Amino acid sequence: MSFCKWLVLLAIYCFLFGCSKGVDETPPVNKSFVNIFDLDITKDEYASIKQFSDRSDDRKNAAFKSFSDRYEMATYLMNHDLKENNEIRLKLAEFFQREVINDHLNNFLAEKISDEMVLEHYEKNKEQFIYNEYTVTVIGLRGTPSLSNDELKLEQTAKNISEQIVSGLDLNTIKDVYISDQVIRESNTNSKIVEQLRRIDVGGVTEPIKTRVGVKLYRLDGVNELEHSFEEIKSKIRYTMEQEARSAEFDRLLKLSVR
């Protein structure tokens, strides 16, 4: 997390949980920026953390003073004009909890899950990353004047054709259909189609499947079992591992902090 963000979060914490040294009824006079945070940091250190190394001393001084002045202004407002303003305090509280928790979890995951661990998970669980590739013949039916664009009639016609195909009907003799060959991968295809293809044997035909352009049947001509390469699947594996680790760490923090 950047130095600036840490300062803002620390300021929010002080505002919300009473870390200030008390509220003076008069505006602060010559109040030191360093003392507000109780930090032992110089202008040069500030400039280094903020990556101002290419700036002149005058610009570094100006940046440091600008930040100091604006923070003192915000401190004054929170202790005076905005002291009873719950709306701004809620915004600060939401920002505080979101940024602190997210920063912790992101750092936690960066240390917890390495590229080597992702590869190890892949090697140990290769059977999870095997998928089927289906070679199919697609038989498409569109509404025609004889069917009056009636979906029910179209589906019934599709079912009749399906039964005839299973019985050995030559596809070239079927009227009012368009036929094409297609290769379907489980990983990037409509789940309804894949679910039906999984249930039938080679030579079988799916139930009629509605599409935007009519109804389709899929005759299964062949199945190939393939394996995702590590490069194809590594981002998905990392995401899954990170979600599991994030959830576990969140639950751990919840038990420690919530009474």
Within a domain: residue 124?
no
Q: Which amino acid is at 74?
A: A
Residue 51, in any domain of the structure: yes
Regarding whether 145 and 215 lie in a shared domain, the answer is yes
CA angle 92, 98, 104 (to 5 degrees): 130
What the block records as the tokens of 121 is 């998970």
Count of all residues that appear for the chain in the document: 259
Residue 33 lies in a domain: yes
pLDDT at 28: 36
Q: Against a cut of 0.85, is the pTM above it?
A: no
**Which of 14-51 are b and which e, b meaning 16 or more Cβ less than 10 Å from the residue's Cβ?**
bbeeeeeeeeeeeeeeeeebeebbeeeeebeebbeebe
In a domain, 122, yes or no: no
pLDDT score of 34: 33
Q: Between helices 230-257 and 115-124, what is the axis angle to 10°?
A: 110
Same domain, 185 and 218: yes
Terminal alpha carbon distance of the chain: 28
User: What angle, 0 to 180 degrees and rounded to 10, lies between the N-to-C axes of helices 57-79 and 3-17?
Assistant: 20
User: Coil, helix or strand for 168?
Assistant: coil
88, 151: one domain:
no
Domain count, the chain: 2
Closest CA to 12 of 92, 104, 97, 69: 92
**Domain assignment present for 92:** yes
pLDDT at 119: 95
pLDDT value of residue 27: 37
User: Are residue 136 and residue 192 in the same domain, yes or no?
Assistant: yes
Task: Quote the CA–CA distance of 37 and 18 in Å, as a whole number.
Answer: 13
- Contact call for residues 166 and 204 (beta carbons, < 8 A): yes
Residue whose structure tokens are 């669980």: 125
* C-alpha–C-alpha distance, residues 138 and 165, integer Å: 12
3-state secondary structure of 135: strand
Q: Which of 120, 134, 132, 131 is nearest to 230 (CA)?
A: 120
Give pLDDT, residue 121.
94
- Note whether 219 and 148 are within 8 A (CB): no
Is residue 251 in some structural domain? no
Could you tell me where the beta strands, DSSP code E, fall in the chain?
130-141, 177-185, 209-211, 214-227
The residue range of the domain holding 155 is 129-227
User: 120: how many CB neighbours lie within 10 A of its CB?
Assistant: 11
Instruction: Provide the 3-class DSSP secondary structure of residue 249.
Output: helix
State which residues of the chain have pLDDT below 50: 3, 17, 19-39, 147-148
The answer as to whether 82 is a domain residue is yes
Q: What is the pLDDT of residue 102?
A: 94
| Residue finishing a domain among 112, 138, 166 | 112
Whether residue 73 is contained in a domain is answered as yes
